[in-house]
Structure 1
C-alpha cells in the first residue's frame, strides 16, 4: 500500500520568508501571515495559536493579498479548507495553527501572475 499518496490537485512550491499574506476574517485584520507553500489554487499559512482559534473550515477570508512584489495585484477572496493544530475548546494543541487556504474568484491578471510565479519556482 502506498502511504505517500498526494491529495493535492496542484503542484506546490515552498514559500520562503519573502512571501507573506494579509486578509480580513470578519472584523479582524491579519497582516504579515507566514505561508509555507503555495500553488495556483491555495496555500498553507501558519498563525500564532491565540490569533488563529477563531478559524474553522469554511471561514471566508476577504481582501486576501500577497506581500511580495512579484505577486502584487487585486485583492481576492479565499476560504479555510482545513485547520491543523487547533484543539476544540482552545486547550492543548500547538503554539502555531496551520490553515489550508483555498483561493476563490481571483482576477485573471492575479491568477496569471500567480501561475508565472509558481511555474518559475518549479523549474
Structure 2
C-alpha cells in the first residue's frame, strides 16, 4: 500500500549528501540526527568572553604560526564567509580601533547562534 494523491501514486526521491535515490524501497527506516551547535560570540576567537586585540592575534597565530585552532572555528569567521582568513583579523581590528562594521550575527556583544549554514563548525564555546 503506497501513498496516493487524487488516485495517482505519489513518487518521491531521497537526497543524502548530494546523492539522489529513487524511493523504490519496500521498507525504509530514516534516522534524522539534529546537530545543535552551541551559541558563540562572533570574533571572540580565543573564547575569553570579550572581543579585543587578543582575538586579532589569536587568529593571526592560527593562520600563520600554526598555533592552536579556535575551539569554535565559527567565532573566528568575523565576516561569516565560511572561511577563516586574514580579513577576519583585520575586520576585528578595524571594528575595535576605527569603529568599522560590527562583526556578523550573532555579533561580538552577546552569545547567539549562527543564522547561516556553513561548513565551519562550532563544536564548543566555553565563554558565555
Q: TM-score, normalised by structure 2?
A: 0.21
Q: TM-score, normalised by structure 1?
A: 0.22
Is the radius of gyration larger for structure 1 or structure 2? Answer: 2
